[in-house]
């Protein structure tokens, strides 16, 4: 049986995502968050919707068939999803979303229920 994620914390200063399981185990992932011109906001929110595959689009970009997308309720334009560029993880370079490598994003997607709390902190 897969152990579910109880909460997610994204640390902007470390460029890391911490997934806390129901039993208290913490899984750590390197991520990339928003660059200075399009920062990832500090927030306390929940995962509100998940898409196995969907297109990402916004001002100046359209990316087809991105897997493992999980978006937030109150900040619905921000999501966790795989890195869609060749820029390395671990440095801010997104349009505000939280990017992970695809394998890690799939692992997290499979274990994260709707309504999972997410905190973005400095």
Return the percentage of the chain with pLDDT > 70, whole number: 100
Number of folded domains in the chain?
A: 1
Which CATH number fits the domain that encloses residue 72?
A: 2.40.440.10
pLDDT, one tens digit per residue, over 1-29 is 899 999 999 999 999 999 999 999 999 99
Tell me which residue range forms the domain holding 108. 5-121
Query: What are the angstrom distances between the C-alpha of 70 and each of 8, 29, 36, 37, 94?
Result: 12, 16, 22, 23, 15
Q: What's the confidence (pLDDT) of residue 1?
A: 83
Res. 59 pLDDT band, cuts 50 70 90: confident
**Arithmetic mean of pLDDT, 78-88:** 94
pLDDT, one tens digit per residue, over 32-49 is 999 999 999 999 999 999
- Confidence (pTM): 0.95
């Amino acid at each position: 049986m897969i152990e579910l994620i109880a909460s997610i914390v994204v640390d902007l200063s470390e460029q890391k995502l911490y997934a806390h399981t129901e039993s208290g185990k913490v899984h750590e992932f390197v991520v990339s968050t928003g660059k200075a011109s399009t920062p990832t906001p500090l927030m306390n929110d929940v995962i509100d919707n998940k898409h196995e595959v969907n297109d990402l689009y916004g001002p100046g970009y359209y990316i087809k068939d991105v897997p493992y997308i999980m978006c937030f309720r109150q900040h619905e334009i921000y999501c966790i999803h795989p890195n869609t560029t060749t820029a390395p993880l671990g440095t801010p370079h997104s349009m505000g979303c939280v990017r992970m490598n695809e394998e890690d994003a799939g692992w997290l997607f499979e274990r994260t229920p709707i309504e999972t709390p997410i905190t973005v902190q400095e």
